[in-house]
Amino acid sequence: MDLLKYKIVEVNISAIKNGDTILHTDKKVYTVNNCNIKRGFMGITLFGDSYKMGNTLVKKIKTL
C-alpha cells in the first residue's frame, strides 16, 4: 500500500476555495466547502475564524 504524500503550504485566507483541505488552528484536518467560507464585517472567515483578519496564514494541505 502506498502512503499518501502531502505538503503543507501557508497561504492567505483569500486563496482558500471550495474543496481545499486545511490544517485548522485546532490541529485538525478539514475539507472546506462553500458553507464554511463567510464574508462579513470581519473580512473572510473559515469555520468562524478570521485568522487575525488575514494577517495569519492558513496551512493548506497539498497532495503530491
Give CA–CA dist 18/35, Å, rounded: 9
| Confidence (pTM) | 0.86
pLDDT in tens, 30-43: 999 999 999 998 89
Residue with cell 464554511: 36
In the sheet that holds 29-31, the strands lie side by side as: 6-11, 58-63, 21-23, 29-31
Say what the pLDDT of residue 3 is: 67
pLDDT in tens, 5-29: 999 999 999 999 999 999 998 999 9
The full set of domain ranges for the chain reads 6-63
